[in-house]
């Protein structure tokens, strides 16, 4: 096998199947990353969605016998939506982040990696290969950084000169000794715009994130959102793009050539009120193909309530009162109470008092009590 020739053929094939950027690195352990992850664990800055075993996250040899190299891939996604609907009074809308626009990127990248695996296997039938996207053990960004896809930026994203940070990442561990690419120089330099713009102060310092304060994480939790973050979440239903949209390196970056990622404006910027009454089946039918649906409808509906409170949308009061009285989920009743407290009409006040009398769950009663107090300060 001529490895250099195969590597060149892989680059060519990858471009032909719509992989926007490809890089190669060795399968050596990610030693510095392990130290950083240990520190993140110590500080309790992790989201809890990560693979807990730090050795597996940082040592490719534990994931594939005789691992020699890793192929890192990047696929660009758009940052702008055509015909974005405007929210107006009585018709407020929420927002899914860009990484949830169009088809679930996990499916798209897994498919491209599967095609790449087949291609390699036709050339090297006994090759050992293992691909992953996002939910695998390895840290996609660390692999991409070392493979020269982009630099590891202060907003914790990988920024590519060609597509900004609007790229999805995936990788394939192989037992073929491909020549590694050179990592890229940091180009953030003395800029701190993303740190200053983060609504919750989740970016502790350049490249260090307290995931538990990050809105991208908070919108995915299954529990009530701590009160200090609710107003900061605004109308975000899933994820947060602020530290990307503020970044000067993303200026003018809007790559729309991947047809699967074209957003449906009505879905990624949906009306809030109809979201609240969706059944599980309706949610799956309408949103199931989007990556932002992976935690089910409950977090999205909770975030829709937060958004209605954020907008102080008076037309939502009857529905919020209904949810407070009838919904079986304490998290939804509690968040509805918070939103009613923010909106603060006479009807909201009556609904809160009635809700308080009927409520059995202590945590929800506390929410209602706080919402009534909030009304008095409105």
| Interface with ligand SF4 (CB under 6 A) | 153-155, 188, 191-194, 198-200, 202-203, 209, 214-216, 240, 242-243, 246-249
Q: How far is the CB of 184 from ligand SF4 (least distance, A)?
A: 13
- The smaller minimum CB distance to ligand SF4, of residues 200 and 258, is found at 200
Q: Reduce the DSSP state of residue 129 to 3 states and report it.
A: strand
Task: Report the DSSP beta bridge partners of residue 209.
Answer: 203
Q: Which H or E run includes 238?
A: strand 236-238
Residue 48 is classified by DSSP as S
Distance CA 286, CA 271 (A): 13
Q: Which is nearer to ligand SF4, 109 or 188 (CB)?
A: 188
Distance CA 364, CA 332 (A): 9
Among positive and negative, which fits the CA dihedral 300, 261, 87, 165?
positive
Secondary structure (3-state) at 206: coil
Q: How far is the CB of 49 from ligand SF4 (least distance, A)?
A: 14
Q: Which residue has the tokens 């949830």?
A: 100
What is d(CA 296, CA 102) in angstroms, rounded to the nearest whole number?
Answer: 17
Single out the residue of 47, 188, 17 nearest to residue 112, CA to CA: 17
104 is catalytic: no
Question: In angstroms, how far is the first alpha carbon of the chain from the final one?
Answer: 73
Which residue, 138 or 156, has its beta carbon nearer to ligand SF4?
A: 156
Q: Out of 35, 104, 134, 313, which one is annotated catalytic? A: 134
Distance separating alpha carbons of residues 173 and 184, to the nearest angstrom: 21
Q: Which is nearer to ligand SF4, 153 or 173 (CB)?
A: 153
| Distance from C-alpha of 30 to C-alpha of 33, rounded to nearest angstrom | 5
* Closest to ligand SF4 by CB, 147 or 247: 247
Q: Which two tokens stand for residue 78?
A: 């758009």
Nearer to ligand SF4, 290 or 343 (CB): 290
3-class secondary structure, 331: helix
Q: How many CB atoms lie within 10 A of CB 19?
A: 22
Query: Considering the complex, what minimum distance in angstroms separates the CB of residue 237 from ligand SF4?
Result: 14
Beta bridge partners of 158: 152
**Shortest separation between residue 331's beta carbon and ligand SF4, angstroms:** 21
- Cα–Cα distance measured from residue 44 to residue 56, given in angstroms and rounded to the nearest whole number: 19
Q: Which residues are catalytic?
A: 134
């Amino acid at each position: 096998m001529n490895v250099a020739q195969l590597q060149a053929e892989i680059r060519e094939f990858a471009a032909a199947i719509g992989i926007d950027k490809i890089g190669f690195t060795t399968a050596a352990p990610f030693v510095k990353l392990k130290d950083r992850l240990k520190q993140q664990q110590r500080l309790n800055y992790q989201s809890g969605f990560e693979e807990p075993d730090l050795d597996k996250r940082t040592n490719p040899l534990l994931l594939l016998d005789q691992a020699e190299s890793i192929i890192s891939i990047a696929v660009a996604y758009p940052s702008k939506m055509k015909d974005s609907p405007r929210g107006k009074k009585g018709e407020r809308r929420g927002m899914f982040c860009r990484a949830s626009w169009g088809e679930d990127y996990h499916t798209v990248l897994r498919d491209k990696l599967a095609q790449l695996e087949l291609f390699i296997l036709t050339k090297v039938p006994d090759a050992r290969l293992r691909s992953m996207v996002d939910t695998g053990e390895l840290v996609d960004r660390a692999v991409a950084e070392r493979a020269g896809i982009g630099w590891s930026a202060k907003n914790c994203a990988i920024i590519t000169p060609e597509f900004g940070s609007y790229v999805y990442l995936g990788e394939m561990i192989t037992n073929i000794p491909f020549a590694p690419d050179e990592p890229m120089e940091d180009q953030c330099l003395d800029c701190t715009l993303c740190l200053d713009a983060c609504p919750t102060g989740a970016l502790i310092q350049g490249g260090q994130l307290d995931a538990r304060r990050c809105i991208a994480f908070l919108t995915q939790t299954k529990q009530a959102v701590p009160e200090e973050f609710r107003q900061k979440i605004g109308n975000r239903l899933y994820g947060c793009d602020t530290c990307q949209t503020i970044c000067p390196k993303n200026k003018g970056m809007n790559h729309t050539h991947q047809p699967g990622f074209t957003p449906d404006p009505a879905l990624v910027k949906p009306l809030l009120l109809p979201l609240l009454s969706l059944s599980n089946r309706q949610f799956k039918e309408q949103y199931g193909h989007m990556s932002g649906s992976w935690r089910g409808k409950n977090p999205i509906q909770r975030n829709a309530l937060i958004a209605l409170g954020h907008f102080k949308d008076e037309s939502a009061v009857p529905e919020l009162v209904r949810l407070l009285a009838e919904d079986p989920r304490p998290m939804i009743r509690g968040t509805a109470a918070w939103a009613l407290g923010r909106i603060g009409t006479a009807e909201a006040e009556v609904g809160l008092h009635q809700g308080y009398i009927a409520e059995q769950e202590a945590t929800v009663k506390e929410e209602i009590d706080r919402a009534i107090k909030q009304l008095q300060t409105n």
